[in-house]
Structures are given as structure tokens and as C-alpha cells.
Amino acid sequence: MKRTFDCVEFCKALSDPTRQQILEMLLEKEMSVNEIVAAFSVSQPTISHHLELLYQAGLVLRRKDGKQILYRTDDQQVYFCCGKLIAKFSPADK
Amino acid sequence: MKRTFDCVEFCKALSDPTRQQILEMLLEKEMSVNEIVAAFSVSQPTISHHLELLYQAGLVLRRKDGKQILYRTDDQQVYFCCGKLIAKFSPADK
DNA sequence: TTTATATATAGAAATATATCTATATGAAAA
DNA sequence: TTTTCATATAGATATATTTCTATATATAAA
């Protein structure tokens, strides 16, 4: 599977507490936007904005299911990115 | 060695290209502020600001040497933080 | 001591980000 | 079809971040 990696984009995607929580939630289960909204105290457009950002960074996957859009964390990609991060800043890997 | 870890603060510290470059440079060698400034095209106060941010995040160490302040990456801490990040978002660790 | 050098801090300006309300879009149900 | 529901987009606002210039501080050299 071909993957791209932009280390700054990856870290920016994780540099907000709401996005980190979303990503963590979506590790466990696929959820619709409304379900995610229900778990936070910010508006639906704000959640959609965070989801779009995570999607652009390649950290979540999404699919349409009727009226809903279901999101889930791309845990393989997240793992891949964490590996790249370690490789960049801990090359010796003590 | 006791360490603290704030996953959002860690990612924020890495969410800027200049700071990532600084951190990478300081993996290899200890450098004074002026030496770091010389490697970039931004002002000395801007570099000092980034260094302070990295320092507050615990990612660099510093010591005084005469008139100069020498900075270096705390590679143990960076490695520790990367580990925490993986643990948070890739708990299964496939 | 005065002067020069290295770094930090203060304050302002420009840019980016997070958030909101209002509305558009698109799909399913009535 | 029309209505309803789920999500996205547009546009505005508030806040945070990055950057600058000017200046303070602290150390070493003259």
C-alpha cells in the first residue's frame, strides 16, 4: 500500500485536543458524524471541519452509508506515521 | 528519570516546520542560539521563541557557557514521547 | 567601568486556526 | 414531489501563532 507522509502535517493534525479525542474514539469503532458530535460540546460544522482535516492528513477513512458518513481511524496509517516520526527524531533508536 | 507527557503539547511543539528542523539539527550537535539563527532565514527573537517552546515541551536541553546558551535535543525524551504517542493511537501495535 | 556580544523579553502586526450561525447539498422517507 | 434528516460549505468572529522591531539583561572583553 502506497503512503505519503508529511511530518509537519501529521503533527498539526494531532495538535488539537478535540482532534486527538476524535482519533482515539474512532480507533475503537466506526461512527457517523452525528454520533461524534454527540460526544463533544462543539457544533456539527466544527466537528465536520476537524474530520475533514484528519481526512486530508490521511488519518481517518470514511464511507457513505445512506444519509450518513461513517468515519474510522486508519490505524495502519497512524502507526505508519508514528514510525516515520520516530525515524526522523530518534534515528539511533536507543 | 521522571518524565511528564502532554500529548497535545508534544504534537504542537512539532507542528511547525522551523521547530522540526531545529529539533533535527540539535539531534546531531549542541549549538548556540546564534549558530541556529545562522541556519535559518528568520530573526534571532523568532528562533529564541521556538527554542523556548521546545524547551517548555521538554524536547530540548540547554546550558549556559559564558555568554552563550547551548541547546541540544533531549533525544531520550523525544523517544519517550514518540512511544507515548504510539501507545495512545496504536494500542494494538500491529 | 565602558563597550561589545549573546540571548531573552515586550509589544505590535500579519497570518492561521477554531469556532459559530446560516445555508447548501444530497439522500431517504412520507 | 415534498419534507426531513445528515453532512458539508460559506462567511464571520475570536483566539492563537508566527514573525518582526526595539529594547532589556547578562556576561565577557577592552
Cα(B78)–Cα(A86) distance, integer angstroms: 8
**Does position B92 have pLDDT exceeding 80, yes or no?**
no
Protein residue minimizing CA–C1' distance to D10: A45
Dihedral of CA atoms A15, A19, A20, A22 in degrees, nearest 10, equals -170
Count of residues making up chain A: 94
Q: What is the CATH number of domain B7-86?
A: 1.10.10.10
Residue-wise pLDDT tens for chain A (94 aa)? 667 899 999 999 999 999 999 999 999 899 999 999 999 999 999 999 999 999 999 999 999 999 999 999 999 999 999 999 999 998 775 4
The helix/strand/coil state of B15 is: coil
pTM of the model: 0.94
Selected residue of A84, A85, A94 to mutate for chain B interface (largest B Cβ count, 10 A) = A85
Q: What is the pLDDT of residue A79?
A: 96
Tally of CA atoms within 13 A in the half-sphere of A62 that contains its CB: 20
The helix/strand/coil state of A64 is: strand
> B8 and A14: CB-CB below 8 Å?
yes
Cα(B91)–Cα(B94) distance, integer angstroms: 9
| Nearest chain A residue (CA) to B6 | A17
Nearest CA-CA partner of A89 in B2, B48, B24: B24
Q: What is the pLDDT of residue A91?
A: 76
Q: What is the pLDDT of residue B4?
A: 81
Residue A86 DSSP code: H
Q: What is the pLDDT of residue B2?
A: 60
**Does position B87 have pLDDT exceeding 90, yes or no?**
yes
Strand partners, B60: B73
Q: What is the pLDDT of residue A2?
A: 61
